[in-house]
Amino acid sequence: MRKILGIILILLTTSCMKVIPGDVTCRVTLQAQLPSGENIVALQVDNSLPGNLIKNINTGETYPIPVFVNGQCEMDVLKGVYIIAFDGMAALSSGKGYKVRCTEHATILTAVSLVENSENVTLKLQVMQ
């Protein structure tokens, strides 16, 4: 009987807990930046390619990289430490297009901490030839 009451008590106390989104998630704004400073109108990443990812190194969870509009995008992720790496195609306001690479936060040593309710991360892109 005590076991049953104990189980019921545990279920009642844990099932009624309310998780507030900011407690475990971070709204991150990613801002892409070219070395030349040119304005990026759109940046598209092929998420089907291995290595193009945003990965939480604490949980191993990966997130698809959204389309960047006017050089930035927003997404909600679990708070943690992240590897961000990708190749993509950037369309510029001048009409030019570049193949670009982001490797600034591509290793555990250079991973970015996203532990606040809201974070801004500037991604310095490399132009590929």
Model pTM? Answer: 0.79
33 or 8, greater pLDDT? 33
**Span 99-115, pLDDT tens digits:** 999 999 999 999 999 99
Domains along the chain? 21-127 (2.60.40)
pLDDT of residue 6: 52
Sequence letter at residue 28: V
**Span 69-107, pLDDT tens digits:** 999 999 999 999 999 999 999 999 999 999 999 999 999
SS3 for 106? Answer: coil
SS3 for 2? Answer: helix
Instruction: Please give the average per-residue pLDDT across 13-17, as a whole number.
Output: 45
Rounded to whole angstroms, how far apart are CA atoms 57 and 80? 7
CB 69 within 8 A of CB 42: yes
Say yes or no to pLDDT of 22 above 60: no
CB 104 within 8 A of CB 34: no
